[in-house]
Amino acid sequence: MEPGILAITIIFSILGFILILGITLIIIRTFKFKPIKETQVESFDVQIDKEKAVTSLQTLVQCKTISNKNRELEDESEFDKLKSCLKSLYPHVFANTEYTELGDRELLFFLKGTDDSLTEPVVLMAHFDVVPVNESNWNKEPFAGIRENGTLYGRGTIDTKCSLNGALRAVEEILINGEKPKRSIYFAFSGEEEIFGPSAKLAVDYFKENNITPYFVLDEGGAVIENVFPGVSKPCGMIGIAEKGQSVVEFHLKSGGGHASHPKPHTNVGILAKLAVKIEKINRKAIFLPPIKEMFNILGRESTFVYRMIFANLWIFGPVLKLLSKKSGGQMNAIMRTTTALTQMEGSKANNVIPSEAMIALNMRTLPTETAEENIEKLTKLASKYDVTTVVGSSWNPSSLSRLDTDGYEIIRRTIKSTFGNDVLVSPYLMTACADARFWNEISDRVYRFTPAHISSEQMNMIHGDNENLTDNQIAEVVEFYYRLIKSL
């Protein structure tokens, strides 16, 4: 055999060996990527008044606490009505706690524990304001608290009056039984979360001023839900351990305007459209943050074989996963990239008039590895190339990552399983939406985001949408979760 042919043969043999070795390694790693064996969590019976659990939430839903950045458009009487209802619904809570109103939209309850050696209190959060509704799209009146066939309908049933009711109803039941938790608890409820108001920050400031360190903080976030991860059929309890930052950015361009019959080569609408295209083409780096890696490690093991092969071998399939996520967008893409969604465009009121000013706006969600400021700066530089003015609206940075190696996270994890079943897969994740929890990362690295309800994908889409509801059993489970959580402290 000639030397050249021999060399080619050797090279191809080596490449073939490497290919076979790589495929073998991928298959071996896939078969070894088995579900994690966990010790079964023992549950205990919770005797609560399920009817009161439902009717208490029903009363809260009947309070039309729609928040608005323009306070003149709010109905303050509805917020006062809710505060009054709390006193009648949970009398033992008010009789056994220190109740403080910080400002007019932050309600703080302090329940002293029986063990003074446990100096760090737990903070349980929720918000009682809700977003507006388009009543014509609802099958039931959204603030009537209609209860039919074992289901309660109304704005706020999930987001998040269920959590407020769950926490207070649970401690009310515990106090009725003549018991108290060992560890002290603060209940912190905000009335302007939906408008990104600062009320929740008042509670954080209170903790700072009084040198109080939370044992852990629990606010709204993930839930127990099916079909939340590729190839996984079991219900998953998703605990957010961080959340992305949010920025609202507008781009304005003025011109002389005029009649559409004699336009210049480019109108301000056309120029902004070019900018919009450039913004959507910005290449955002994909990053597997620690909570995402852990999510892949826990849930990926429960996937079907093909998905297991991907998540067991991110060393080779990681770039492919990132590329596919970029092309398809959606939740998987959002947990590994900073995202910019163009949401508004304004121009002329008439189709034959060139506007004197046009505007486009976007909503940006920033990864915890980046800052809002640096991303806004990049957008500003891009806009300046088109002589476009950048206007920054509300903006804040992503939260820091909370720890997983804490007693608090383990208590939440075990309570999820003891309430909703040992078949529930509990996993951390990165929350792409926003919550008041972000304020608490200023003083704690033990801030968790979980709404303790087992909801369907359909119900998940009802949050901020139409026909929001929970069944009687779901409402009772929320109370049972908090009951078990408080008893575990």
- Each residue of 405-429: pLDDT tens digit? 999 999 999 999 999 999 999 999 9
Looking from the CA of 429 toward its CB, the CA atoms found within 13 Å total 26
Residue 15 pLDDT: 59
Cis check for the bond before 415: say yes or no (omega within 30 of 0): no
Domain that holds residue 273: 245-396
Name the pLDDT band for 386 (thresholds 50, 70, 90): very high
Looking up residue 470, the CATH number of its domain turns out to be 3.40.630.10
**At a CB cut-off of 8 Å and minimum separation 6, what does 169 contact?**
48, 52, 53, 56, 89, 90, 479, 482
Q: 273 in helix, strand or coil?
A: helix
Burial class (CB in 10 A: 0-12, 13-18, 19+), 162: buried
Q: Are residues 413 and 364 in the same domain?
A: no
Which strands, in side-by-side order, build the sheet including 357-366?
Answer: 339-346, 357-366, 245-254, 389-396
Residue 263 pLDDT: 83
In a domain, 29, yes or no: no
Q: Is the pLDDT assigned to residue 7 strictly greater than 70?
A: no
Amino acid sitting at position 89: L
Q: Is the pLDDT assigned to residue 100 strictly greater than 60?
A: yes
Q: Could you give the number of structural domains in the chain? A: 2
Residue 42 pLDDT: 87
Q: Are residues 326 and 370 in the same domain?
A: yes
Look at 28 and 108; give whichever has higher pLDDT. Answer: 108
Based on DSSP, count helices (H) and strands (E) in the chain, helices before strands: 16, 17
- Each residue of 195-212: pLDDT tens digit? 999 999 999 999 999 999
Residue 439 pLDDT: 97
Phi, psi (deg, nearest 5) at residue 205: -60, -40
User: How large is the average pLDDT for residues 14-33?
Assistant: 77
Task: Please report, rounded to a whole number, the percentage of residues in the chain having pLDDT higher than 70.
Answer: 96
In a domain, 38, yes or no: no
In a domain, 185, yes or no: yes
Strands 151-153 and 147-148: antiparallel
Q: Are residues 437 and 331 in the same domain?
A: no
Q: Which of 350, 369, 396 is the last residue of a domain?
A: 396
Q: Are residues 234 and 309 in the same domain?
A: no
The structure tokens listed for 143 are 């603030």
Q: Are residues 110 and 252 in the same domain?
A: no
**Chain centroid, CA 226 distance in Å:** 16
In a domain, 431, yes or no: yes
Q: Is the pLDDT assigned to residue 5 strictly greater than 90?
A: no
Residue 16 pLDDT: 63
Looking up residue 385, the CATH number of its domain turns out to be 3.30.70.360
Q: Is the pLDDT assigned to residue 213 strictly greater than 60?
A: yes
CA angle 161, 90, 485 (to 5 degrees): 65
Q: Are residues 92 and 232 in the same domain?
A: yes
Name residue, tokens 């928040």: 67
Which H helix or E strand runs over 157? none
- Each residue of 424-447: pLDDT tens digit? 999 999 999 999 999 999 999 999
Closest CA to 488 of 79, 185, 73: 185
Q: What is the largest CA-CA distance in the chain?
A: 96
Q: Which of 396, 427, 444 is the last residue of a domain?
A: 396
User: How large is the average pLDDT for residues 164-192?
Assistant: 97
- Each residue of 39-86: pLDDT tens digit? 899 888 898 999 999 999 999 999 999 999 999 999 999 999 999 999
- Each residue of 120-159: pLDDT tens digit? 999 999 999 999 999 999 999 999 999 999 999 999 999 9
pTM of the predicted protein model: 0.93
Name the pLDDT band for 257 (thresholds 50, 70, 90): confident
How far apart CA 188 and CA 125 sit, in angstroms, is: 5
- Each residue of 364-374: pLDDT tens digit? 999 999 999 99
In a domain, 6, yes or no: no
Q: Which of 396, 425, 446 is the last residue of a domain?
A: 396
How far apart CA 360 and CA 272 sit, in angstroms, is: 7
Q: 70 in helix, strand or coil?
A: coil
Phi, psi (deg, nearest 5) at residue 478: -60, -45
Looking from the CA of 256 toward its CB, the CA atoms found within 13 Å total 7
What number of other Cβ atoms are within 10 A of residue 22's Cβ?
Answer: 12
Q: 452 in helix, strand or coil?
A: strand
Instruction: Quote the DSSP letter at residue 107.
Output: E
- Each residue of 391-404: pLDDT tens digit? 999 999 999 999 99
**At a CB cut-off of 8 Å and minimum separation 6, what does 133 contact?**
66, 142, 143, 155, 466
Decide: 338 and 367 in contact? Cβ < 8 Å: yes
In a domain, 437, yes or no: yes
In a domain, 31, yes or no: no
In a domain, 15, yes or no: no
Decide: 239 and 427 in contact? Cβ < 8 Å: yes
